[in-house]
Structure 1
Amino acid sequence: MSARPRPFIAALALAAATSLALGAAPAATAVPAAPATTAEKGDGFPHPDLKRTYDATVKYRSEQAAIADGYLRTDECVEDPELGGMGYHYVKPAHVGSTDPTKPAAILYEEDHKTGKRELVAVEWVVPNTGQPRPYLFDRPFDGPFDFEPVGPHYSLHAWIFKKNPRGVFAPFNPRVHCTPCPEDHPHP
């Protein structure tokens, strides 16, 4: 992909600015993991560490829990007309640079058009590119690097662990996620 939607850039810019205000983001480190066998998985995830991610982030099904834990809410949804959507990014500046399976930098929500509430769909790790080797997590390389001002060069990795993605758990966009405005007959609560 040659471009990222502006809302994602705005969310990362907010995270980068906050991160700079709080101090430098932690250095990225690769998390080595042995490939999983089918018997080890048992939970349906393509890598055993995704269970740790799920356990650490399932509480964010409550948007209020995510905000209380330091994830910054955004009000713009990311969608590509050809690839699908990512949803609303909530970024936690303290986790930008993390490759810890339990500390994604962003969590992604999609609006339920019947209730107007946001539902957790995915998580994302964002690692600034400082010249280090490409980060890996879950035996996969991160996507990128992408270079957007004022965020600068960075890598990212998505994990669709709360909403099935027909393109795969680690694909950046999900064709089942949409940002279309809610119909007028379904007002927000």
Structure 2
Amino acid sequence: MTRPRMQIGWKTWLGIGLVGPLVAGVAMIPSNASDVGDPAQRDGDHDHASMTAGLQDDLARVRRATARYHRVEAAEAAGYRLGWVNGAGRLIVNTCIARPAAAGGGAMGFHYFNADLMATDEVDVLRPEVLVYAPDDDGRLHLAAVEWVARSATSNPPGVSTAPSVLGMQMHIIAPAPTGPAFYLTHAWIWKENPAGMFADWNPDVSCD
């Protein structure tokens, strides 16, 4: 497997048109990974005091459905590829995605997209469109999160006109058009603990350095 490029600069994000307005607002199972994680939060926008038993069950189902993908090679064999080719034929989101310290720090990691799942307007909780891999100190990639993604009406190519929901939560856009891909998305850090919350976009324990 060719090791992905560790390109992490904030200017890189701006160059591929992924972040834009965000500046202002902003493999192996870990031995200490819990089945639930911390109370669900999304960058402070949604602060849930606790997870319901039903949500815990749903997350356990997602873990079972994605446990086969701890090795990047297994994800690639299932149709996942690093980055996304947009409607203009341009490969984007193909580097390690990090947030600068001035904006809060933390990172997401490498995004492996499934083109077949991205081509639909439907979101299936057991078939996430994106698998997120976090690098360790040696650069090896470990499955850290899943990400449900739906193209919005302003994506290229366009998708749905209203935000879908997953796990009972409405998906959101963090990189709107025209500078970003305008994806509706939701992260779930089911394979790596996230101090910011299970559903936070950024994980302070992930680094692209």
TM-score of the pair, normalised by structure 1: 0.67
How many residues of Structure 1 are paired with residues of Structure 2 in the alignment?
147
Q: Could you say which residue in structure 1 is the equivalent of 2:133?
A: 109
Q: Could you say which residue in structure 1 is the equivalent of 2:117?
A: 95
**RMSD between aligned alpha carbons?**
2.9
Distance 1:66 1:168, change over 3 A: same
TM-score of the pair, normalised by structure 2: 0.61
Q: Could you say which residue in structure 2 is the equivalent of 1:123?
A: 146
The AA in structure 1 aligned to 2:136 is: D
2:96 counterpart of 1:77: yes
The AA in structure 1 aligned to 2:108 is: M
Unaligned runs of 5+ in 1: 11-35, 181-189
Q: Could you say which residue in structure 2 is the equivalent of 1:144?
A: 173
The offset of 1:58, in angstroms, is: 1.1
The offset of 1:143, in angstroms, is: 1.6
Q: Could you tell me whether the CA contact under 8 Å between 1:128 and 1:155 is conserved in 2?
A: yes
Q: How does 1:54-65 map to 2 (within 5 A)?
A: 54-65=63-74
Q: Could you say which residue in structure 1 is the equivalent of 2:157?
A: none
Give the whole-Å Cα distance in 2 for the aligned partners of 1:9 and 1:90.
Answer: 18
3-state SS of paired residue (2:82): coil
The AA in structure 2 aligned to 1:154 is: F
2:87 counterpart of 1:86: no
Distance 1:73 1:169, change over 3 A: same
Decide which moves more: 93-102 or 81-90.
93-102
Give the whole-Å Cα distance in 1 for the aligned partners of 2:194 and 2:161.
Answer: 30
2:75 counterpart of 1:53: no
Distance 1:175 1:145, change over 3 A: closer
Give the whole-Å Cα distance in 2 for the aligned partners of 1:8 and 1:47.
Answer: 36
Give the whole-Å Cα distance in 2 for the aligned partners of 1:47 and 1:54.
Answer: 11
The AA in structure 2 aligned to 1:85 is: A
3-state SS of paired residue (1:58): helix
Distance 1:164 1:9, change over 3 A: farther
The offset of 1:149, in angstroms, is: 5.5
2:184 counterpart of 1:155: yes
The offset of 1:121, in angstroms, is: 0.4
The offset of 1:48, in angstroms, is: 2.4
The offset of 1:47, in angstroms, is: 3.9
Unaligned runs of 5+ in 2: 1-10, 19-49, 84-93, 154-159
3-state SS of paired residue (1:168): coil
Q: Could you say which residue in structure 2 is the equivalent of 1:5?
A: 13
The offset of 1:88, in angstroms, is: 0.5
Distance 1:8 1:141, change over 3 A: farther
The offset of 1:94, in angstroms, is: 1.1
Q: How does 1:168-179 map to 2 (within 5 A)?
A: 168-179=197-208
